[in-house]
Structure 1
Amino acid sequence: MAEEEEENPQALQSWQELVDQLYRFRDHYFESHSVENAGKKQQDVQEELERTLQQMEAIEGLPRTRARAMMLKGKALNVLPDYSAQAEELLSKAVKLDPELVEAWNHLGEVYWKKGDVSAAHTCFSGALGHCKNKASLQNLSMVLRQLPVSPGDEHARNVMDSVRQAKMAVQMDVRDGRSWYVLGNAYLSLFFNTGQNPKISQQALSAYAQAEKVDPAASCNPDLHLNRATLYKYEENYMEALGGFSRAAALDPAWPEPRQREQQLLDFLDRLASLLENKGKVKGKKLQSMLGSLRPSQLGPCGDGSYQGPLGQKVALELRPLSTLQPGVNPGAVVLGKVLFSLTTEEKVPFTFGLVDASEGPCFAVTVYNMAQSWGVLIGDSVAIPEPHLRHHHIQHQGKSFAFPGIRVETPLLLVVNGKAQGSRSQAAATVAYRAQSE
């Protein structure tokens, strides 16, 4: 049963205004502070919380045991990114006194999320929606669904699809809410990596992130948004945009080490790759000539005998072409054959990257292979044929560094022919992604 009317609605309204002001201070911090102050944000929010609590206590005439009063104080304590046991206690009491107090359910769910109890958070957000459909519960439920523990036999993709549905409903309730668009972007990002990396879905994720920034200036100051979008940019080999996103996330949250680490890892990868490509894997001239001289048409395997199957399952006749003649984008009807001069591994393991040269003795091309099993790879000296190669000329500039090289992207090792042999199904595995989705 809901609580009786508050004895002092003016005092209650004053508490509400103080808490709203506290959250405005946190969410719009960079509208009144420069990015250079990002390292002080959490301390400033902590100090603002302490002032808010003092001001709340100074207001008389409000029974502290009422559900709404406990909800407001619990909400105030929940403003920080860390778990608060006091917030959990107050919000738990508030929902027991007034089970229809949806805002209390939402904040209690966020507290459980911060505590690491994802199942309890899911129960809170679902319960809130049972009382009243609201965008905050839909946003949070969308995020929690992707984090729920999955038992053997369950399909994580089903939760991800449901996550997208919840985020879409939140957007429909208020198309001007930047947080809803951000959550939808994360849902699409997860869907992209769980359902075969459909380019249309990655574009939907990028569009949702862009819309979040368009409708809400505060979204541009969300470090999670920049890191998550940069993760997608990196996978799509939009390296300059990825580096910019990691750098922006690091600037907005200096205490969060991951963005700076990811930025440095990508810079190190590009640095090593560019050096190996330029030096052709440091393979000496005579050895290189010997390797290239051993290339034979028989090493094309199914790509040379007319049995290669195109993306629609049709038989495709392929023409052997030099790497230097490839055009940007997909090269239909073409196949290239070359020798592996080096391979490059990273901490993330994906993609598997190697350098390829052919008999035309042109530049060394970077080949990036995705969705491969961890045990899969190629060795220096292997002959590799790539049907209908997808070429991109990379030109990257970031913080005084520049990289330029030709790259061929291969979505699965199943498309490759190594030493005349097609690759079996064991060579393939699904890609994984690491991104952050906080409850705030």
Structure 2
Amino acid sequence: MGAGDEGGEDVMAMAGSAADELYTLRDSFFPADILEKDSKLKSLADSALQILDAVPEAKRTSPLQRASFEYLRGKILDVFPVYRKEAEDHLSKAVKLNPSLSDAWLCLGNCIWKKGDLASARNCFSLGLSKAPNKKILCQLSMLERKLAQGNGHTLQLKTFDSISKILRTKLKVWKKAFGLPKERSPWMLRMEILGVNCLGNACLTSFFVNGVPDYNRLFQSIKAYQNAEKDENMTHCPDLYFNCATANKYLQNYQRALTGFEAAALKDPGLNAFEEVRKIVNVLDKIEDAMKVQFRKKNKDPPSSLFAEVSKSSSQGRATIKTLAEGQNKSVALTGRVLHFLKHDDAPPLYYIVCDSEQNCFVLSIYGLHSNALKEGDWVTLLEPYHQSVDFSWKNKHYGFSSIRVDFMGQLLVNGKAPSAHLAVQSMIQAQHKPS
């Protein structure tokens, strides 16, 4: 091999390193002013293209050489958050010249995803995986499937549940198989494994609502996966990780952890909508506190009703009050209460109600999967095997403290002594970050 050949290969390697540096900046630099990031990306991209253009013409002649050249040019051009047709054209040439170049399929899928053609993006990822195992592609495919699971609007159609559920079950198996085996790993492999664990968490988070019924085991699995991903120092700079973990904690009503996570995500990347998530949670908590204070002042004005005893007879389980419940699931008991107030708020479900028990102690009832008109103020509810949480924490010098019962599925709820009608409000509440990268 001559000196010229070696020089050409060196320049190509330098261009590859410049492209990698460009993407490192994209994934780790989150200034308060987004224009500052755009400016740095443009400067580094221009430099990387100059290096690439210095590759000798003699090193761009064979199909494989040309494919690598087109791939790097398309990858550099695609670093920006908006779709660029020029990037797609170069990446398309790369995969035509070398269909086995899985990284080019990955970049092409990401590029087309930005255009909004999700089906074609998924096809690119699938074709890339058919050429060779690629954990980066698996990461993106997992996130794309989550995006597809959300549908085109805010509400998922019931007819899509079976197909979406099958997709997610398949993806979960893939992730567990790919990242659950203890093997000797290089630093690069460890990095990709951590990224995959993050995506496993995202897949679990998606499946929380995919059947129209919340599956809290999936939330616990997602949080565990996110915590494993946090073990990698590089991931501590990933705002999406904090955002997604906070989302899981939000649905588990671990309010303090959710607030801390969203705030951390917002500080790492002001471009995220994380501060808005903090505002929504605080707004709900403030409304709960205000409503509880109002009901406390009215406590002695409404004497206990004999209907409590009558409604309680409809359950064969032991009677309980909010004060007798243990933390977590309370087996073989039922709590009867009267709905005092429906809490209107601007956040995603659950629905929140203020309820009082037979001793006139108030608590918060949260329910997923029910239309707001299915349960009205004045209704009597019987909560079977209630899941109890004591909320007690301070945030920004304000203290929040109240008892909460969560209804996980409709079989735990009786309204006026009867099972509620099937008013499932199946919504796409998955707010995990899922952008092409």
Counterpart residue type for residue 232 of structure 1? A
Amino acid at match of 2:357: D
Which stretch shows the higher mean deviation, 77-86 or 195-204?
195-204
Q: 1:372 aligns with which of 370, 373, 378?
A: 370
Q: Does 1:339 align with 2:356?
A: no
CA distance in 2, matches of 1:353, 1:370: 9
Change in CA separation of 1:400 and 1:55 when aligned onto 2, cut-off 3 Å: farther
CA deviation vs aligned residue, 1:185-225 (integer Å, no higher than 9, x gap): 1111112322554443322211211121213x232222222
Query: What are the residue-to-residue correspondences of 1:27-46 with 2, within 5 Å?
Result: 27-29=27-29, 40-46=36-42
Report the number of matched residues.
Answer: 411
**C-alpha separation between the residues in 2 aligned to 1:213 and 1:187?**
17
* Contact 1:106–1:128 (Cα < 8 Å) also in 2: yes
Q: Which residue of the other structure, out of 145, 165, 179, is the alignment partner of 1:157?
A: 165
For residue 188 of structure 1, what is the amino acid of its counterpart? C
Distance of aligned partners of 1:47 and 1:375 in 2 relative to their CA distance in 1, 3 Å threshold: farther
Q: What is the aligned partner in structure 2 of residue 144 from structure 1? A: 144
**Which residue is equivalent to 1:71?**
71
- Cα displacement (A) at 1:383: 2.4
Tell me the equivalent position of 2:422.
426
Tell me if 1:243 matches 2:243.
no
Q: Aligned partners of 2:357 and 2:199: how far apart in 1?
A: 46
**RCO greater where, 1 or 2, for CA within 8 Å and sep 6 or more?**
2
Aligned in 2, Cα 1:159/1:281: closer, same or farther, shift over 3 Å? Answer: farther
Correspondence list, 1:376-387, <5 A: 376-379=374-377, 381-387=378-384
SS at match of 1:193: coil
Cα distance between partner residues in 1 of 2:271 and 2:147: 24
- What are the Cα deviations for residues 250-302 of structure 1, in whole angstroms up to 9, with x where unaligned? 2222123x21211101100000101111221764743x23xx23534212252
- Residues 164 and 92 (structure 1), Cα distance of their counterparts in 2 relative to 1, 3 Å cut: same
- What one-letter code is carried by the residue in structure 1 that aligns with 2:402? F
TM-score normalised by length of structure 1: 0.84
Output the CA distance in 2 between the equivalents of 1:239 and 1:15: 46
What corresponds to 1:405 in structure 2?
402
Aligned twin of 2:154: none
SS in 2 for 1:397: strand
Q: Percent identity?
A: 30
What is the alpha-carbon distance in structure 1 between the residues aligned to residue 196 and residue 235 of structure 2? 10
Q: How many Å apart are 1:93 and its aligned residue?
A: 1.3
Give the conservation status (yes or no) of the 8 Å contact 1:340–1:355.
yes
Question: For structure 1, which segment, 268-277 or 225-234, has the greater mean C-alpha deviation from structure 2 after superposition?
Answer: 225-234
In structure 2, the CA distance between the partners of 1:45 and 1:397, relative to structure 1 (3 Å rule), is farther
Q: Distance in 1 between matches of 2:352 and 2:320?
A: 22
Give the aligned partner of residue 391 of structure 2: 394
Q: Which moved more, 1:143-152 or 1:206-215?
A: 143-152
Letter in 2 for 1:147: K
1:111-153 Cα shifts (integer Å, max 9, x gaps): 0111111111111111112222221222222222333477956
- For residues 308-323 of structure 1, what are the structure 2 equivalents within 5 Å? 318-323=317-322
> Secondary structure of 1:426's partner?
coil
What is the match of residue 21 of structure 1? 21
Letter in 2 for 1:371: G
Q: Offset of 1:51 from its aligned partner?
A: 3.1
The question of whether the paired residues in 1 share the 8 Å contact of 2:386 and 2:412 is answered with: no
Contact between 1:301 and 1:417, CA under 8 Å: does it hold in 2? no
Task: Indicate how the Cα distance of structure 1 residues 425 and 6 shifts in structure 2: closer, same or farther if over 3 A, else same.
Answer: farther
Change in CA separation of 1:266 and 1:438 when aligned onto 2, cut-off 3 Å: same
RMSD: 2.9
Partner of 1:315: none
Q: Does structure 1 retain, via aligned residues, the 8 Å contact 2:335–2:386?
A: yes
**Aligned-pair distance for 1:336?**
2.5
State the TM-score, normalizing by the size of structure 2: 0.84
Select the residue among 284, 289, 294 that pairs with 1:274: 289
Question: Secondary structure of 2:114's partner?
Answer: helix
2:279 aligned residue: 264
Residue 221 of structure 2 corresponds to which residue in structure 1?
204
Distance 1:413 1:23, change over 3 A: same
- 1:49-69 alpha-carbon deviations (Å, 9 max, x no partner): 233334444565566672211
Once residues 75 and 439 of structure 1 are traced to their aligned partners in structure 2, the CA distance between those partners, rounded to angstroms, is 13
Q: Structure 2 stretches of 5 or more lacking a match?
A: 152-156
Change beyond 3 A, Cα 1:367–1:230: same
Give the distance between the partners of 1:226 and 1:339, measured in 2 at CA. 38
- From 210, 227, 236, the counterpart of 1:194: 210
The superposition leaves residues 383-425 of structure 1 with CA deviations (integer Å, 9 ceiling, x where unpaired) of 2222332221101322333211111112134322323x22234
Question: Residues 344 and 353 of structure 1 are in contact (CA less than 8 Å); yes or no, is this contact kept in structure 2?
Answer: yes
